[in-house]
Structure 1
Amino acid sequence: MLTKDELKNIKTLQELCEKEGKLQLKLNFDMLESRSEKRKEDFFHNEDGMLVGFLGSYYFGNKVEICGMVHPDYRRRGIFSKLLKEAVEEAKKREARTILLNAPTESQSAKEFLKNVPCTLAMVEYQMKWEKSLDLLDDSTVKIRPSISEEDIEAEIQLDVQCFGLNEKEARQYKLETKDLDTDKRLMIEAEGRIAGKMRLSEMNGESWIYGFSVFPELQGKGIGRKALSKVVKMQDENGFEIFLEVEAKNAHALGLYESCGFRSYHSQDYYKVTE
């Protein structure tokens, strides 16, 4: 578990690096604040009495995403290479099947560094923000409610298997690891008299982020996703939140769905798959 001082130092370094590079780093502070004491997921490098290098590993079942930074004045000294080596070795010990290196699309320093890493571009992820430019659907045939029962948990696991490519063991482990995140609300989507899908809301600092949004494959293409998303956006807007989400660019249908609900892309992250 990270201490308050460690979290503060990470945030200070992040703000400095983002200002210098005119970019946004994806450090998943909701996950940093909920770390387990049992696992090595964060890697630090301190010099001159301060944090100058940090790398975080974020596990999602069989996949781990890695994102980090080094103070501009301490670059080209091998700090990030050392931290990355430690993180990749740990991921391999934990038998991660996919290791992804995350970098802001606009980061030239990241692109230069990755030229020397055995990896290939796997996907581009867009961050999107909701703009109050469209009327939202309000359809009573789709319902949103909290996830509260064992049946709900089982449906969430099956949705992760069918929609996100996790195997059953990985999906159950991921559910176990994320069920106690204090900032999260787990919601179920109901339609046609049955559980149709799910999503997760993370609320922090006046922002509401939508994650894990999925509908069972056999129920896709019926407008359930758009109706559910509209309901949640309307709810969060009425509660005073700015609303954000993330979507992989390779999923053109999902991108169109979000745009139809008033979301607009403002930033992107590149993901590179480690190949050895």
Structure 2
Amino acid sequence: MLTDDQLNKIETLQNECEQVDAIRLKLNWDMLRQRDDQSMDFFHEEHGELVAYLALYGFGSTVEVCGMVRPCERRKHHFSALWLRAMQSIQEKGFQKILLNAPATSISAKEWLANQPCAYTFSEFQMGWEEQLLEESKDIFLRESQPEDSNFEVQLDVLAFNMTEADGKLHNERVKKNPDEHHFIIEVNSKKIGKIRVSRKDEEAFIYGFAVLPEFQGQGYGGKALRNIVKKEHEAGCSVQLEVETKNEHALRLYQQIGFKTLQGQDYYLWAEQ
């Protein structure tokens, strides 16, 4: 696992980069805090201070890449050096697809990406909930996921997030190991219709993996489940955030109706060479 010192240095560098560049980095802290493989993290330090950092996040056969360099140390090839080391690890682990993540307004990230063999593929919005009155819905039921729900959860990941079944199983196994995450099954009349996952840390709640079976979409169940989750997390004293692909207009409208506002865009680039 990453040490407390390493995590503190990552957070310090993140805060500096975000303040100077007026961006929000997507560092997947829920995964960093649960690292069991340090070959996914790459550091460059000088005089005991972290100057550059690159992280890999595995999702089945896909790996996502995020990194940062101290503003005063840029254009010294620190990130490129880390990327060479990361590529070796990616190849050794046999990942088949590489997605590079960059905040939509990060000038330095876009300059580096412009010189790499990659192509823009999609964007996500990071959204935060602004407080408003939410009525609890009584005609749906949210219960904690059980081991026997695993196949159902994988099925939803395949249908909603274009995962292969193998990737869905690997992803489900990984997220279930995180003690900060809570997995819920959405039920209507005792029938399983969807799922939602909440990662809770330091009075912040992040919603992930929200999906409803196609035959139950368009009937208001998803919105009711989301309202109940947001209401529960807010009453527990947590801020609430989620992510959504920018092209998913239906989901965007739903989130906006409930009170979510866009905080930052994240762009993803597909690496063309491996």
Q: How do 1:225-240 residues align onto structure 2 when only pairs under 5 Å count?
A: 225-240=222-237
2:141: which partner in 1?
143
Per-residue CA shift, 1:151-195, capped at 9, x if unaligned?
212211111112112212221112222212121111111124311
Instruction: For 1:128 and 1:241, locate their aligned partners in 2 and report how far apart those are by CA, in whole Å.
Output: 14
**Which stretch of structure 1 is more off in the superposition, 107-116 or 174-183?**
174-183
- RMSD (CA atoms): 1.5
Gaps of 5+ in 2: none
Percent identity over the alignment is 44
Q: How do 1:195-234 residues align onto structure 2 when only pairs under 5 Å count?
A: 195-234=192-231
Alignment pair present for 1:42 and 2:41: yes
SS at match of 1:65: strand
SS at match of 2:39: coil
Instruction: For 1:161 and 1:246, locate their aligned partners in 2 and report how far apart those are by CA, in whole Å.
Output: 18
2:176: which partner in 1?
179
Q: How do 1:258-273 residues align onto structure 2 when only pairs under 5 Å count?
A: 258-273=255-270
2:52: which partner in 1?
53
Paired AA for residue 233 in structure 2: Q
Instruction: For 2:136 and 2:173, locate their aligned partners in 1 and report how far apart those are by CA, in whole Å.
Output: 33
Instruction: For 1:151 and 1:162, locate their aligned partners in 2 and report how far apart those are by CA, in whole Å.
Output: 19
1:30: which partner in 2?
30
Per-residue CA shift, 1:73-114, capped at 9, x if unaligned?
221121101212222332233332321111111111111111
Closer, same or farther: CA 275–137 of 1 in aligned 2, 3 Å: farther
Instruction: For 1:97 and 1:222, locate their aligned partners in 2 and report how far apart those are by CA, in whole Å.
Output: 37
SS at match of 2:84: helix
2:113: which partner in 1?
114
SS at match of 2:243: strand
1:168: which partner in 2?
165
Paired AA for residue 235 in structure 1: K
**TM-score normalised by length of structure 1:** 0.94
Paired AA for residue 214 in structure 1: A
Instruction: For 1:85 and 1:215, locate their aligned partners in 2 and report how far apart those are by CA, in whole Å.
Output: 40
Instruction: For 1:269 and 1:35, locate their aligned partners in 2 and report how far apart those are by CA, in whole Å.
Output: 23
Alignment pair present for 1:257 and 2:254: yes
Alignment pair present for 1:14 and 2:11: no
Instruction: For 1:138 and 1:47, locate their aligned partners in 2 and report how far apart those are by CA, in whole Å.
Output: 52
1:91: which partner in 2?
90
The number of aligned residues is 273
1:68 is displaced (CA, Å) by 0.4
1:159: which partner in 2?
156
